[in-house]
Structure 1
């Protein structure tokens, strides 16, 4: 009954849109077409009005990214997406569309970021160095392979061209800022430029960042203990010997030193979660070439190296990853039929290397090979032109093979084909109805396959009952998690309004869970559940032509899940959530003031008898260009200091003033 009730608003919206579209079939869109952007969900440049998925894009001009110091600040208000943890950078993980951290692929400049060790997260990046974030929802293994079951979150670092003022060849930028919730201050210095030479244009950027922060104030006044400092570096350069060629190189360095609980996702420390010093270092290096002979064709090849190292007292964990990948697209016209191809291949080697008493992080290797091909065919004429409507047909698949091995344990070798098919119908230029089917998978982590050290020490619950030490038991026979997803939706543009909405239904098999046997003293990863996950997403924007300086937006999301055998709740469910916001530009755009809110229904915490209350959060922001070379952004998050909880039961962020001041010359 809850499922039908949750779907009712979407059904009513679809019915009204089809009706209004039929009445105005000959009308064209009044709003300007969006410039094509390379969309994570298609890997091709696309007008977002033709993208058959729910995607959100956050750039440096948005208050969330402009004032952020951690991933929670950027993504914390996205409907249907939750950042787990207590605000510490080391403990941030995502859940999206019912899938937790291992079912959501995170990419930084095209390189996956998925170190898996204990309760530590996989966001080792400085938001000051990020130009754009794309959140693509849905099963996307046909393009990205393992982990892309609930979606893909892609971070793109800033380039020299993003910072250069119009007509300028060089520049420098000083940014200072901070946040009151954790007594943080931060600074970033960047130098950038470009120059025309006899052998083509060259450009480069160097950016250095530093921040210091203390205990983190959570909702309701509780504090998460921490003392942290972060140093970051970004070096990027490029050479364009001709209009269609570009060679590029980059190095991103992240080094955080923190004193925090052993499990950074818990609020406080204690006897079983004592404070410890933790050093986290991440390096991402790539060397690449982009060939773009025209707007219809692009091929990018990159050699990548990444390393994440976590150093704690008497324990060290290092993940090295070397890869070679090539991705491209090509558009063709076959008379009445147009076709766009997206294609690519990659090979990668990943190596886990523990030292000392590193727990749950075995010495193991995994080699991956993959190739994908996706095509979109477009044909037809709109109803007003005498046709049956325009049609987009998409077909694609990706082949992945991985070979994992651990010390003294059997190898684990699996391959997987992830197909996707989709159909879109456009009765006129302002309306698109789409539906599709996709399969996705998640390969077991090396820790799930090969962990074999002590998990935790034994204990005595009384004078006559004691349990032995508990040890991980390897399971190299684990099968990958798999899923089948149907998704249908609508994209609508008319006058001042734009809307995008979809409903999805996912059947997932072979969920990987951790089975702990206290009496036997063993812990092992096992394939257990058959799950069903369903829900919907919707986005509405309004920019009135009578007041072009103002815009408003709305987001809606809900995710439900159950075990298909027992009917018990399952998956990273989220309650019905509504996000509202608006922004007004004044003084020819030099001043922007805005408001953003997020509301959620009350919710039964999964796996617990606890009931989480609903909430309403409000943020306000001000962006002000004080002078051509000076600007500031202020954001007051959780204005009312509302006590609220995420679906996993962790406290949300408390009231905080986040500020950034930029001076560029």
Structure 2
């Protein structure tokens, strides 16, 4: 029997449109409408098919993730806990087109989507932007033990979220009481211990929840992590010490009228010891103090009897700081500071209404504003390449979703058309004087047609942009020295470029999905979704290094600066004439670029076993040089096979990743060999008896100690690592 797309993605949305039900106003009702009930063999969570995940970020309205006209992946609280993640990178290894680069140190990891990274990927935590971007100090600092849901939207997202939407959106939500408590229980919590051999990491966590009634939801927790050097696939130890203390607290309070308030706080603190450049193999060892803190408050109003009103307002402040003191080198003993503080708010409303019996409309309109203040200092003075100043962004958007039913006389068919447009204005100012500003229009239209119960096709066109950052417009100072015989003989220096244009893209995307249940056995489900995207880019922001010294010679420092997007030319051997050896570093616009790729996600989930397959191809090109741009990833396939053992409240599984080799073009340091990664895992979670609530998970990552290196990373990745996790969850 085929799953009815109209029932699961149409009728439920029709009911929500006409009743005004939403996740913010009555989340349990919305989920009940959207999630199909599935019979379980022995355990309601483990022995059968999981409920369908819901996407909110991709369209700003609740929709089954599989039915979204685009590529989006949603991971829920149970799936995240089962993966025993130590960092965000652990959540991306089975998502097509998504990865991390920067090496295995958590302080250097940077997420990348379809070749875009850094400021080209929007990251939010409970709706609050996380805007920290650094050349070598990572991108976002959040303990994964607090994440109750991770939604990854791949592709153009500026029509709803503005600057940075060229790559996509990573939306993270912290745990709620509903994630931790059994139905009907009001108080509970979870304690856990974990250990991983790859970096001798020992983690302790304590998380609690309280839900005294249907109107109140409070959760919070604390995690402590300590880790040592990272063992790479070639058995080399990578200098790295972390001492992390994290905490979070959130609460949601509703009233009978549909109004409510939500409050949130998240804190991450790491006393680390590693090279000054957290992405490098070696370098000057530095004591680092990494702080990330986010406060947010939100208001919502969604009366059940008024489908025209589903309003939300969110206000937030996030601050990220990395202070470091080198133990050796030219800056030994000198405090180096980098801080990014963001204040913002966003407001939107969705009105749902029907036009006759066959057309439903969801009209969403809103605005947002955020101000980003950046500071950099070296011993109280200016810090090279780190600009002090501020940027302001504000935008207005509108989107309409039209759902047509029984199209062309096809009973049960559905056609959805979703046009939208956004206007953004942004300005950049530095403390030393100087400013730049611009504006951007970002339209998008998507369509989805389900002519039959079991399948649909979709297509979209979208424009996206990313504004140049302060460190790209106004950098000054030294990028790196040229070393001969242990002494600097020249310096590569930063050059400002205030003529930079915003990076912009035009993306076409098409795809199809099929979905069946009861294929082989009662209660099973098969889903597959395939998409192709083609992106034309203008004014891509890229780093150009012009070096008059032969940096490819190993006696000179630093060869690893030949990284993606860097153009080194006019090489002269400085062994002959070492005088005047230096160069410049400047951010420039690449006039034309193109990216395209294919992404596939397929799952067969049955009461006894589950098979998942994810694959992606990616091709990027600078049209002037023919070289790859951004963080192009190799073609990759990931397979996951899980055997469920409900008789003993357990499951065991195997996951394998096969990555093709990668041609870095003229930048030969980006050539990479193909590799295979294998992982085995098991989880036991007692459901009944005296041990009910206890859980033990074991995972062996990189089982065969593969020596592999990701594109744009200067180091190999972690070798074989065994993870053991023990937890106890209770509620009453």
TM-score by length of 1: 0.89
Q: Deviations over 1:229-251 (max 9, x none)?
A: 00001111232232612211111
Among 501, 504, 513, the alignment partner of 2:530 is 501
Among 334, 342, 355, the alignment partner of 1:334 is 355
* Alignment pair present for 1:593 and 2:652: yes
Offset, 1:588:
5.5
Offset, 1:41:
1.5
* Alignment pair present for 1:237 and 2:265: no
**Distance in 1 of aligned mates of 2:429 and 2:6:** 60
* Alignment pair present for 1:514 and 2:543: yes
- Residue 638 of structure 1 corresponds to 702
Structure 2 residue matching 1:663: 3-state secondary structure:
strand
Question: Structure 1 residues 293 and 362, CA, compared in 2 at 3 Å: closer, same or farther?
Answer: same
- Residue 628 of structure 1 corresponds to 692
Tell me, yes or no, if the aligned pair for 1:65 and 1:73 is still in contact at 8 Å.
no
Mean alpha-carbon deviation: is it higher for 303-312 or for 451-460?
Answer: 451-460
Tell me, yes or no, if the aligned pair for 2:291 and 2:320 is still in contact at 8 Å.
yes
* Alignment pair present for 1:215 and 2:251: no
**Distance in 2 of aligned mates of 1:391 and 1:554:** 28
Tell me, yes or no, if the aligned pair for 1:364 and 1:407 is still in contact at 8 Å.
yes
* Alignment pair present for 1:359 and 2:384: yes
Mean alpha-carbon deviation: is it higher for 168-177 or for 128-137?
Answer: 168-177
**Distance in 1 of aligned mates of 2:144 and 2:710:** 22
**Distance in 2 of aligned mates of 1:574 and 1:635:** 25
* Alignment pair present for 1:449 and 2:473: yes
**Distance in 2 of aligned mates of 1:283 and 1:25:** 44
Question: Structure 1 residues 63 and 111, CA, compared in 2 at 3 Å: closer, same or farther?
Answer: closer
Tell me, yes or no, if the aligned pair for 2:298 and 2:314 is still in contact at 8 Å.
yes
Question: Structure 1 residues 589 and 410, CA, compared in 2 at 3 Å: closer, same or farther?
Answer: farther
Tell me, yes or no, if the aligned pair for 1:36 and 1:45 is still in contact at 8 Å.
no
**Distance in 1 of aligned mates of 2:402 and 2:63:** 14
Offset, 1:25:
12
Question: Structure 1 residues 282 and 50, CA, compared in 2 at 3 Å: closer, same or farther?
Answer: same
Question: Structure 1 residues 289 and 388, CA, compared in 2 at 3 Å: closer, same or farther?
Answer: closer
Among 440, 448, 455, the alignment partner of 1:431 is 455
Alignment of 1:192-341 (within 5 A): 192-196=209-213, 201-242=215-256, 244-267=258-281, 269=282, 273-294=283-304, 298-313=310-325, 314-335=335-356, 336-341=358-363
**Distance in 2 of aligned mates of 1:344 and 1:25:** 33
**Distance in 2 of aligned mates of 1:193 and 1:315:** 42
- Residue 378 of structure 1 corresponds to 403
Question: Structure 1 residues 280 and 567, CA, compared in 2 at 3 Å: closer, same or farther?
Answer: same
Mean alpha-carbon deviation: is it higher for 165-174 or for 550-559?
Answer: 165-174
**Distance in 1 of aligned mates of 2:257 and 2:232:** 51
Among 417, 440, 447, the alignment partner of 2:464 is 440
Mean alpha-carbon deviation: is it higher for 486-495 or for 69-78?
Answer: 69-78
**Distance in 2 of aligned mates of 1:263 and 1:462:** 19
Tell me, yes or no, if the aligned pair for 2:627 and 2:666 is still in contact at 8 Å.
no
Alignment of 1:63-142 (within 5 A): 66-142=83-159
Structure 1 residue matching 2:397: 3-state secondary structure:
strand
Question: Structure 1 residues 67 and 35, CA, compared in 2 at 3 Å: closer, same or farther?
Answer: closer
**Distance in 2 of aligned mates of 1:476 and 1:619:** 48
Question: Structure 1 residues 330 and 561, CA, compared in 2 at 3 Å: closer, same or farther?
Answer: same
Cα RMSD, aligned residues only: 2.7
Structure 2 residue matching 1:161: 3-state secondary structure:
helix
**Distance in 1 of aligned mates of 2:697 and 2:384:** 42
Question: Structure 1 residues 374 and 589, CA, compared in 2 at 3 Å: closer, same or farther?
Answer: farther
* Alignment pair present for 1:186 and 2:203: yes
Q: Deviations over 1:327-374 (max 9, x none)?
A: 343322111211122332111111112232533211111111111111
Q: Deviations over 1:22-74 (max 9, x none)?
A: xx999999x95865723322111112342111111222322676411112222
Q: Deviations over 1:585-630 (max 9, x none)?
A: 2225821222211111222235433642222211122121133221
Tell me, yes or no, if the aligned pair for 1:63 and 1:621 is still in contact at 8 Å.
no
**Distance in 1 of aligned mates of 2:53 and 2:150:** 16
Structure 1 residue matching 2:624: 3-state secondary structure:
coil
Among 636, 656, 659, the alignment partner of 2:721 is 656
- Residue 59 of structure 1 corresponds to 76
Question: Structure 1 residues 167 and 213, CA, compared in 2 at 3 Å: closer, same or farther?
Answer: same
Among 156, 166, 171, the alignment partner of 2:173 is 156
Tell me, yes or no, if the aligned pair for 1:618 and 1:637 is still in contact at 8 Å.
yes
**Distance in 1 of aligned mates of 2:709 and 2:594:** 24
Structure 1 residue matching 2:530: 3-state secondary structure:
strand
Alignment of 1:410-429 (within 5 A): 410-429=434-453
Tell me, yes or no, if the aligned pair for 1:118 and 1:360 is still in contact at 8 Å.
no
Offset, 1:526:
1.6
Tell me, yes or no, if the aligned pair for 2:426 and 2:439 is still in contact at 8 Å.
yes
Question: Which structure's residues are more often strand, by fraction?
Answer: 1
Offset, 1:303:
1.1
Q: Deviations over 1:277-322 (max 9, x none)?
A: 0100010001111222249553221110111111112211211111
Structure 1 unaligned spans of 5+: 1-20
Q: Deviations over 1:436-461 (max 9, x none)?
A: 11001111111111222332345558
Question: Structure 1 residues 70 and 236, CA, compared in 2 at 3 Å: closer, same or farther?
Answer: same
Q: Deviations over 1:626-647 (max 9, x none)?
A: 3322112221111222222223
Structure 2 unaligned spans of 5+: 9-34, 38-50, 326-334, 520-525, 549-581
TM-score by length of 2: 0.81
Tell me, yes or no, if the aligned pair for 1:100 and 1:572 is still in contact at 8 Å.
yes
Offset, 1:326:
1.4
- Residue 513 of structure 2 corresponds to 491
**Distance in 1 of aligned mates of 2:462 and 2:588:** 25
Among 477, 494, 505, the alignment partner of 1:472 is 494
Offset, 1:156:
0.9
Question: Structure 1 residues 116 and 167, CA, compared in 2 at 3 Å: closer, same or farther?
Answer: same
Structure 2 residue matching 1:177: 3-state secondary structure:
strand
Mean alpha-carbon deviation: is it higher for 579-588 or for 534-543?
Answer: 579-588
Tell me, yes or no, if the aligned pair for 1:104 and 1:151 is still in contact at 8 Å.
yes
Question: Structure 1 residues 36 and 172, CA, compared in 2 at 3 Å: closer, same or farther?
Answer: closer
**Distance in 2 of aligned mates of 1:606 and 1:127:** 36
Offset, 1:254:
0.5
